[in-house]
Structure 1
């Protein structure tokens, strides 16, 4: 695979055409990004197993444009927002006023609401062989969120690294926290589960959640629990652990409080069978680890295979869930004159 000119990925039921851009060069990561949702639809790595010299797609993705907006929504590879993760009660206080949002998961708002950023067509600002910049303007009141928010997503491929830079500005106080919802399976999309992968997360605490995946209280220590990922752990052992937080979620769907600040390593995902690995680097305070617990075979990938439970893992750098109601966790408020920024790097080893 190599970078190509933009191509049509299909047409949505509402008549919108979806365009795909391919970035990268042979020998390194090559990714296909859609203007719909600023979505990574495919991510190819060199395949050195068996001496084939080919490539393997390690990102879960939809096979065509129509599938991108057909329920059930799994947010495969999209930039989700305005606010990634859940906001309890579909409301939050801001400067003495209660902001009411559109609910789309019970009584909560998930990943920005029913018409979040993953369903929007982003405008292409700049496109090249190894760089793609997109922009989305979210109007005041969009899904209930205040302020006209302008968001930019810039993908770059350098060597063996894929980077995503997000930036946002507002004309009124609001909360913001978009994130990439990229699912990875380093054995190849559609190649079974991620149970044989090993995961390390640079976090000494995590956020226990209620049955509706909202924070129960404060952070808890990972020590002595299956959430202790401070050393490489086989995911199959952890997602099948009898710990009540694991069984209630059907796997891992929890936010980890990352050590330190600034750009640093958040996690390392390894697949011993192929020798592939990825180091996730970010400047965000938390990492949502989601092992694809709700995937049930309904969705089918580009290779024609259904995505069943644990078919991929999403490592999502972001704020903690429900921080608009829980500022002691992380502060997501953005005000006019400020710029919110996020950087994520996937550093691959093949």
Structure 2
């Protein structure tokens, strides 16, 4: 009996100790994985499978990302009553994204965010002709830019917060751009309700790079409402006037005394219909602001009075494109019912300046072999009671 008792005790202790270790390991692994969920999203006409990754922080905030275009299909944020609602525009069905996505909803943009005049530029004495997909110009990397590509996505298991690593290698000559460009983007959802986006890129030949994210925001959570009641502040004393095809003229104009002055917060709609040549050319705001300061700093803040939602933008980029959704035309259904009508979403696209490869007075977007392109942008959400 003693032998059985001792053996039983030994076995019991072994099971308890082993079970605890196993349970602890399970908790360690699941603790890093349970806040990232992977699911099937859709199938393209070519038969390619689209995966969706859902990141959730400790507060219940969620971001949904698909491997097609690195697109953010949903992002929730709390209102002053603690209610989380989706605040980014997007399609109701997967087909909307892979059958054109004319608005670039939620997409990663490259190789070159914004416009390049006449769809060409010169680099080290050689002229490169790139895809002409916006009248005479090239827009957002061309018709088959990064927003149409499949990105490899990995869950970063040892990250402090839910993090995705997205990578894509653009072949030499893709859409006319020189050099094989290897791009890595990290999406991180922190516990203070911030989406951090970190960009990296390397090339094997001299090229130009300007990466950004093209989410449209509507902090009301109702995508049929216009964004003209949102209050916006931009930390910029100058902006870039544009010509008839929205290419910067080269002038760096002071915002003071113009409808482009957002140095003090005001509603987007306050002066959007003013009798102003630049507003007429853009059909509203669709311009690059020259940001004050350098390094990672707060560059813009948006407040929605009705819901109390606030979105603050931080970046280390020299510019931001504020776009007031002037080309949304009601052709597509929203995720909350109704249509994506005129000015029902806005973008704050952090960037180097449009057409920089053709304008020597602008900050350079050239990337050479041996160099690493690095940039960071943060969209942080909070509420005003």
TM-score range, shorter chain: over 0.9
Query: Which position in structure 2 is the counterpart of 1:155?
Result: 187
CA RMSD of aligned residues (A): 1.5
Q: Which has the higher strand share?
A: 1
2:64 to 32, 37, 48: 32
Query: Which position in structure 2 is the counterpart of 1:73?
Result: 102
Answer whether contact 1:193 1:310 (CA < 8 A) is retained: yes
Query: Which position in structure 2 is the counterpart of 1:91?
Result: 120
Answer whether contact 2:57 2:190 (CA < 8 A) is retained: no
Query: Which position in structure 2 is the counterpart of 1:320?
Result: 353
Deviation track 1:40-62 (CA, whole Å, cap 9, x = no partner) reads 1100112444xxx5420001112
Determine whether 1:169 maps to 2:198.
no
Deviation track 1:246-300 (CA, whole Å, cap 9, x = no partner) reads 1221110000000111001110011011110011000001000001100000122
Determine whether 1:134 maps to 2:163.
no
Following the alignment from structure 1 to structure 2, what is the Cα–Cα distance between the partners of residues 195 and 62? 22
Query: Which position in structure 1 is the counterpart of 2:282?
Result: 249
TM-score calculated relative to the size of structure 1: 0.95
Q: Which runs of 5+ in 1 are unaligned?
A: none
Higher deviation after alignment, 278-287 or 180-189: 180-189
Query: Which position in structure 2 is the counterpart of 1:9?
Result: 41
Q: CA deviation at 1:70?
A: 2.7
Following the alignment from structure 2 to structure 1, what is the Cα–Cα distance between the partners of residues 250 and 79? 44
TM-score calculated relative to the size of structure 2: 0.87
1:22 to 54, 79, 83: 54
Following the alignment from structure 1 to structure 2, what is the Cα–Cα distance between the partners of residues 170 and 42? 31
Deviation track 1:132-188 (CA, whole Å, cap 9, x = no partner) reads 111000000000000000101101111221100010000100000110011111001
Query: Which position in structure 2 is the counterpart of 1:110?
Result: 139
Determine whether 1:292 maps to 2:325.
yes
Answer whether contact 1:60 1:189 (CA < 8 A) is retained: no
Q: Which consecutive aligned stretches of 4+ in structure 1 deviate over 6 angstroms post-superposition?
A: none
Q: CA deviation at 1:301?
A: 2.4
Following the alignment from structure 1 to structure 2, what is the Cα–Cα distance between the partners of residues 21 and 47? 24
Query: Which position in structure 1 is the counterpart of 2:16?
Result: none
Q: Which has the higher helix share?
A: 2
Q: CA deviation at 1:340?
A: 0.4
Q: Which runs of 5+ in 2 are unaligned?
A: 1-33
Question: Structure 1's 255 and 28: CA in aligned 2 closer, same or farther, altered over 3 A?
Answer: farther
Question: Structure 1's 347 and 28: CA in aligned 2 closer, same or farther, altered over 3 A?
Answer: farther
- Who wins on radius of gyration, i.e. which is larger? 2
Aligned residues: 346
Following the alignment from structure 2 to structure 1, what is the Cα–Cα distance between the partners of residues 110 and 222? 25
